[in-house]
Amino acid sequence: MAGPEGPAAQMEELALIRAIAAGDKTAFGSLYDRYAGTVMALCLRVLGDRAEAEEAVTDVFWQVWQQAGRFDLERGQPIAWLSTLARTRAIDRRRALARRRSLVVPEDDGAGSRTERLPSDADPHADAVGSEQGERVRRALSSLAPEQRRVVEMNFFGGLSHKDIAAELGEPLGTVKTRIRSGLARMKDVLSAAFEGGVAP
């Protein structure tokens, strides 16, 4: 995965992850601003479908937000951790897609009629959970104001930097950063309520 290299960059990434573990949304924004594009490229390479890759990117950064406190430098650099998360989430999603496609398999009963059965390795529960989580993320995105959703999608899924978004939209850089931070904060609140079993506003 491409990204800043060298000891200084690695220490900066480590500082970002530690700040994220402490709940720093600005640090989270900086990390995904730096790596969302390359995470997207890796997921797209595994999945071959942009919509599915976008879902995988969401999974990756949600996991980063939830598990940053568990990061262990002795097991590898931050960029290696991100790469592993991206590859794992993309492969998980690809397997789930394969299960869904093979969930119903036509089978000849020998009397000229056809029945349907579930393959032995199908996991409807896992598929249902993955689908439900994706729907929660989509609902969280839809809860944003239009101007927030646009910049979050451009940054998070499109891989554009804050500066690039500001240039493309003709908006001040500070405005773009504020919208992204407030949008992520709103999504975090909605998703936290959803995943904890609460009712999202």
Share of the chain above pLDDT 90, in %: 3
Q: Are 175 and 165 in contact, with CB atoms under 8 Å apart?
A: no
Residues spanned by the domain of 139: 124-201
Q: Which of 46-50, 126-130, 155-159 has the highest mean pLDDT?
A: 46-50
What is the band of 19 on the pLDDT scale with cuts at 50, 70, 90? very high
The answer on 188 and 174 residing in a single domain is: yes
CB atoms closer than 10 angstroms to residue 98: 12
The answer on 189 and 116 residing in a single domain is: no
Given a cut of 80, whether residue 106 has pLDDT beyond it is no
What whole-number distance in Å separates Cα of residue 91 and Cα of residue 97?
Answer: 10
Give the domain-ending residue among 93, 122, 151.
Answer: 122
The answer on 69 and 12 residing in a single domain is: yes
Q: Are 136 and 194 in contact, with CB atoms under 8 Å apart?
A: yes
The answer on 137 and 105 residing in a single domain is: no
- Count up the domains in the chain and report the number: 2
Q: Are 195 and 132 in contact, with CB atoms under 8 Å apart?
A: no
Q: What is the DSSP string of 43-88?
A: HHHHH--HHHHHHHHHHHHHHHHHHGGG--GGG--HHHHHHHHHHH
Mean pLDDT of 122-126: 44
The answer on 27 and 58 residing in a single domain is: yes
Share of the chain above pLDDT 70, in %: 72
DSSP-assigned beta bridge partners for residue 108? 114
Tell me the whole-structure pTM to 2 decimals.
0.51
Closest CA to 156 of 23, 80, 6, 53: 53
Mean pLDDT of 11-27: 89
- Find the CATH number of the domain harbouring 139: 1.10.10.10
- Find the CATH number of the domain harbouring 98: 1.10.1740.10
Given a cut of 80, whether residue 182 has pLDDT beyond it is yes
Output the CA–CA distances (angstroms, integers) from residue 152 to 73, 135, 155, 160, 162, in the order listed.
Answer: 29, 17, 5, 10, 10
The answer on 102 and 27 residing in a single domain is: yes
The answer on 47 and 5 residing in a single domain is: yes
Output the CA–CA distances (angstroms, integers) from residue 188 to 20, 32, 61, 185, in the order listed.
Answer: 13, 15, 11, 5
